[in-house]
Structure 1
Amino acid sequence: MINQHSENLLNSQQENAPGEGYIFNWFDWFCLWYPPGWLILFNRHWQHYHIDPDGWNWLEYGLFLIPGGFYLALLSRWLRLGFRSPRKEVGEFDPKYQQAFGKEILAPIVKYYFRGELQQLENLPPTGPLIVAMNHAGMSFPWDFLTLGYLLSEAKGWVVQPIANPALFEHPWVIWWLPPQWSQVLGGVRAKLDDFEGAIAQGKILLYAPEGVRGPLKGWRRRYQLEKFDVSFIQLSDRYHIPILPVICIGSESLHPWAVNFTKLQRLVKLPFLPLSPLMFALLMFPSMGVWAMKTRLRYFIQPLQPAGLDNHSKKGRAAAYQQAQQLREKLQLQINHFLGKF
């Protein structure tokens, strides 16, 4: 299956790319190991497959790499675009581009930087549709989700789409950092009930954080403590007969260590969270590091599949869904405590 997956990827690259697939050169390897360069990797890869006259150029990429240079690059781009923001286009999910991004950008990051690995593979079902429910932490760009999606795609050939905070689609900072339709084309589904339900109704394989934004907000001090689970994924699982695959991630808490949420400023700039940590000085000097995270080891422990439907068939509704969601949270918390005791 993996060989067939690679063959399909090669075909898709030949269809979409002007010549061949994106190949890392010396500058890309430099960007991988130099934190301000990760944003360059994302944009260079996009520009290889898409015509993007509003995107960053080489002069601006060079400015990314020096202290404070991002602000000059931002000014340069704003002037070049005629004193306006980049186009706010709406893109559609492109599985071929998701595969190319995974193979050509995520693969070296996951392998050499996050050292991602799946464990307890015997619990993986043969196919979807599925709701993959994972604990979420780190107070950073959602690398725990991107890494898991890539690993599942490699292991099973699945097309996996994450449920993502709306800020990743429409926040002005993200629109300047990344191509306007980047999140949609890579398969992101807005974390809104209508969008979530629509994706489930289509039988997709979805990555979901039952803690919601409360996961990253818990910060470093409560990094191993699961917050209250939302009930929507239990209700939708029951309504559409979609099983839930719980996954425990150990290591995501170190993506942005020692962080606490700066609540007042976070609300002012309308972000889901705004971490305050010793890394903030570096982020102020190099804003392109907003998509970067600390080197860690991301281990994913696949839990037994949870069949669709509420356990309490005599009592349907939100109360039963809430009870089942919290029971699952308690079960996963025990597993997290167990794994932490082993390491």
Structure 2
Amino acid sequence: MMNFLQKPNEKIFGLKNLDKDTLIFRVLPRFLLEILRKYFRMEIIGAENIPRRGACVIAPNHSGYSGFDAFLLGHIVQQEGKRVPRVLTHHFWFLTETTAIPAQKMGFTEATYENGVNALKKGNAIVLFPEGEAGNFKPTTKRYQLQEFKRGFVRMALETQSPIVPVVILGAEETHINLKKLKFTKFLKGSVIPLPLNILPLPAKWRIKFLEPIHLPYKPSALEDAELVHEIAQDIQEKMQAAVEEEINKRGNPFL
């Protein structure tokens, strides 16, 4: 029961006692993410497949150019799985202190092999997008066509003997429309950026489905077998592509 003798500013979540960093980087983002969850009429399937403890590699498809899928998936894992994942994200977040400090405070980690393995060895769940920027920045004309998986997530799982939890995300492709993928040839050579049609997110329905964890039946030494690692990554990609297509057939119009 609320104590009505409290001052008004002491009633709401104890905000008076929170420091500035907690308010800006924890309370406010969670509040905004809950708004987005309702705005996208988000449906969560298979949350019971999120391991409640121990190391695991959560591997989703990547799309929509904005990074909303990374923010929202991390939030869903925290809400539904009752654990705080380490989200491995694009190195652009860490090029300057202006973006790196907020990213780190919100639980983002630069997507390197070493960072992923270190987090797993500490028993953490990590979120890692196997498609990388190729999936995130692909044009909308290729929506829901999974791009070739990088193999780092398989090597991480093998080295740390962690299960892989494939995740399919529908809705991000329609939320942010990307016209084209631009490649730098002179400055920042090798980098790519999107050419977006819209900045404000469109109200497409989102569906996030966690598939059953995959426990790889190999010893850590198997990560040196490039052919095997490639085959495992390819098999998981095909499994996720089939799941994506199945969910698309079920959902109908993404805006209704």
Query: Which bracket does the TM-score occupy, shorter chain normalised?
Result: 0.7 to 0.9
The residue that corresponds to 2:173 in the other structure is 253
Report the TM-score when normalising by structure 2.
0.81
> Structure 2 vs 1, CA of residues 237 and 262 (structure 1 numbering), >3 Å: closer, same or farther?
same
The residue that corresponds to 1:157 in the other structure is 82
1:98–1:187 Cα contact (<8 Å) kept: no
- Amino acid in structure 2 at the alignment position of 1:108: I
1:99-150 deviation digits (Å, cap 9, x = unpaired)? 5344323222222x2333311234333333211000001122x111111111
Which deviates the most, 161-170 or 122-131? Answer: 122-131
The residue that corresponds to 1:132 in the other structure is 58
Which of 200, 208, 215 aligns to 1:300? It is 208
> Structure 2 vs 1, CA of residues 295 and 239 (structure 1 numbering), >3 Å: closer, same or farther?
same
The residue that corresponds to 1:116 in the other structure is 42
The residue that corresponds to 2:94 in the other structure is 169
The residue that corresponds to 1:183 in the other structure is 103
**Pairing 1:144–2:69 present:** yes
- Amino acid in structure 2 at the alignment position of 1:337: E
2:25–2:102 Cα contact (<8 Å) kept: no
Identity between Structure 1 and Structure 2 (%): 22
The residue that corresponds to 1:241 in the other structure is 161
> Structure 2 vs 1, CA of residues 20 and 270 (structure 1 numbering), >3 Å: closer, same or farther?
farther
The residue that corresponds to 2:151 in the other structure is 231
- The size of the alignment, in residue pairs, is 240
What is the alpha-carbon distance in structure 1 between the residues aligned to residue 236 and residue 141 of structure 2?
Answer: 23
What is the alpha-carbon distance in structure 1 between the residues aligned to residue 201 and residue 96 of structure 2?
Answer: 20
The residue that corresponds to 2:118 in the other structure is 198
What is the alpha-carbon distance in structure 1 between the residues aligned to residue 170 and residue 155 of structure 2?
Answer: 27
Which of 276, 301, 309 aligns to 2:195? It is 276
What is the alpha-carbon distance in structure 2 between the residues aligned to residue 185 and residue 126 of structure 1?
Answer: 23
> Structure 2 vs 1, CA of residues 231 and 277 (structure 1 numbering), >3 Å: closer, same or farther?
closer
1:130-175 deviation digits (Å, cap 9, x = unpaired)? 11000001122x1111111111211122111210011012258xx3
The residue that corresponds to 2:233 in the other structure is 325
1:237–1:309 Cα contact (<8 Å) kept: no
Offset of 1:330 from its aligned partner? 0.7
1:243-297 deviation digits (Å, cap 9, x = unpaired)? 11111001111232152112248x6467954322443xxxxxxxxx5xx533322
The residue that corresponds to 1:213 in the other structure is 133
> Structure 2 vs 1, CA of residues 122 and 49 (structure 1 numbering), >3 Å: closer, same or farther?
same
- Amino acid in structure 1 at the alignment position of 2:175: L
1:247–1:303 Cα contact (<8 Å) kept: yes
1:118–1:299 Cα contact (<8 Å) kept: yes
Offset of 1:219 from its aligned partner? 1.4
Secondary structure (helix, strand or coil) at the match of 2:141 reads coil
> Structure 2 vs 1, CA of residues 315 and 144 (structure 1 numbering), >3 Å: closer, same or farther?
closer
Root-mean-square deviation over aligned CA pairs: 3.0
What is the alpha-carbon distance in structure 2 between the residues aligned to residue 168 and residue 100 of structure 1?
Answer: 21
Offset of 1:187 from its aligned partner? 1.0
Report the TM-score when normalising by structure 1.
0.62
1:287-311 deviation digits (Å, cap 9, x = unpaired)? xx5xx53332221011011114449
- Amino acid in structure 1 at the alignment position of 2:20: Y
Offset of 1:181 from its aligned partner? 0.5
- Structure with higher helix content: 1
Runs of 5+ unmatched residues, structure 2: 1-12, 252-256
Of structures 1 and 2, the larger Rg is shown by: 1
Offset of 1:315 from its aligned partner? 9.2
> Structure 2 vs 1, CA of residues 314 and 245 (structure 1 numbering), >3 Å: closer, same or farther?
closer
1:138–1:252 Cα contact (<8 Å) kept: yes
Runs of 5+ unmatched residues, structure 1: 1-12, 22-47, 51-93, 280-288
- Structure with higher strand content: 2
